[in-house]
Amino acid sequence: MKSAVILIKDPHDCLKYETILSNTIELLLRSEITREAQALLVDQINNKPDRTSKLAKYLQIKSQLTKSLYFHINTRIDDVNVLENVLVGFYDLARRIILQLQKSYGCPIQIPIFTQVLFNVSDINALNKEDGKPLYGFDLIVADTKNITSLIQQFNYQGNNSATIKSFELDEMVGEVQDTLFYENNDKVKQVKVGCVGGTFDNLHDGHKILLSIGSFLSTDSLIIGVSIAAMLAKKKFDEFLQSYKARHDTVMGFVKRLKPNDDYKVNIHELNDMYGPTAFVANMDLLLVTEETAKGGGMVNDKRKENGLNELEIFVVKLIEDDKRVDDKISSTFIREGQFHEFEKLVGKVDKEE
């Protein structure tokens, strides 16, 4: 079982889905956690003659083991503040449960689970125009017991007739549900035709996903994305575990295409070889998305555009996503690579296995 989708009727109370999410992740992990299966994978790594080939095999196995978990939001979202909070809620809940279960299993090679929140997606049976295959593939479809019949009918997934369907009870909410936002941006922000966002997008994490999701929501016609080239990453920590430009390009493209499967929506990815990227020369652009960490760069981008005779861009700041497992709280690709480094070193015997 490689992929699952959880159908969400009410996205505003994400904590109701904690048991459903836990049970779904258990089903995804179950086939990969036997000691025998893990021992065989470790042997495949250590049978390689040198560190370089061991590392290549390790990264290949991690990629092959990766599962996909989607949340399909049944309710249409038309407000960016609501969207931000739905995204933060479900990504945070999923990340917490995945970490708990991975730790409880204690596998030498943790099974990666790639999560994505799908919202305002009307055609769940869309095909990938590159290869003609279904854009979405689900082996398992999960919904809450009360609403499963109506949700399945509305979902109308036809990509895999053998997909397993499961239902679980929603959790009871303790106390009164607080109808509050995690944070708010300017309520005057409106959708534009062309948005732009840039970054490294290594080991695509929840912060990246929220940035790209909001970018696709706020731009009605196209999203321009700058992806850093290798030369920009020379000083990154744990650089052995950096993904290639092609891997990062393809992951970002696939992620946005699953959010915007219609042919009319354009996703244009540019090589990012300085801090400006396409913002310095692409005239047809309306909005730049930045994080709190890169917000100062928004003003520099507009200075460069004025210098080049281009229109200034609206700036939308996306809040950094926090992780209570980090010393500095910020979710980062560096933290992911660091985890891979320590896992790999243990596998090849460079670190005591009891550490």
State the Cα–Cα distance between residues 91 and 220, nearest whole angstrom. 24
- pTM of the full structure: 0.91
Report CA torsion sign: 29, 31, 33, 39. negative
Is the predicted pLDDT of residue 52 greater than 80, yes or no?
yes
Q: What's residue 187's pLDDT?
A: 53
Q: Nearest Cα to 174, choosing from 15, 51, 352, 341?
A: 15
- The domains of the chain are located at 3-181, 192-318
**Contact of 203 with 336, CB cutoff 8 Å:** yes
State the Cα–Cα distance between residues 248 and 236, nearest whole angstrom. 15
Other Cβ atoms closer than 10 A to 212: 24
Q: What's residue 180's pLDDT?
A: 40
**Contact of 287 with 218, CB cutoff 8 Å:** yes
Class of residue 190 by CB neighbours under 10 A (exposed 0-12, middle 13-18, buried 19+): exposed
Report CA torsion sign: 161, 163, 169, 175. negative
Q: What's residue 323's pLDDT?
A: 54
Which DSSP helix (H) or strand (E) runs through 22? helix 18-30
Residue with tokens 């490689």: 2
For the stretch 186-197, pLDDT in tens is: 455 689 999 999
Q: Nearest Cα to 115, choosing from 17, 183, 246?
A: 17
> Any idea how long the chain is?
355
> What's the average model confidence in pLDDT over 119-137?
86
State the Cα–Cα distance between residues 130 and 122, nearest whole angstrom. 20
State the Cα–Cα distance between residues 231 and 237, nearest whole angstrom. 14
Q: Dmax over Cα atoms in the chain, in whole Å?
A: 63
Which DSSP helix (H) or strand (E) runs through 141? strand 140-144
For the stretch 169-227, pLDDT in tens is: 999 865 444 444 444 454 556 899 999 999 999 999 999 999 999 999 999 999 999 99
Is the predicted pLDDT of residue 328 greater than 90, yes or no?
no
State the Cα–Cα distance between residues 323 and 205, nearest whole angstrom. 11
Q: Nearest Cα to 90, choosing from 109, 67, 70?
A: 70
Which DSSP helix (H) or strand (E) runs through 332? none
DSSP 287-330: EEEEETTTHHHHHHHHHHHHHTT-PPPEEEEEPPPB-TTSSS-B
Report the topology of domain 192-318.
Answer: Rossmann fold (3.40.50)
For the stretch 236-289, pLDDT in tens is: 999 999 999 999 999 999 999 999 998 889 999 999 999 999 999 999 999 999
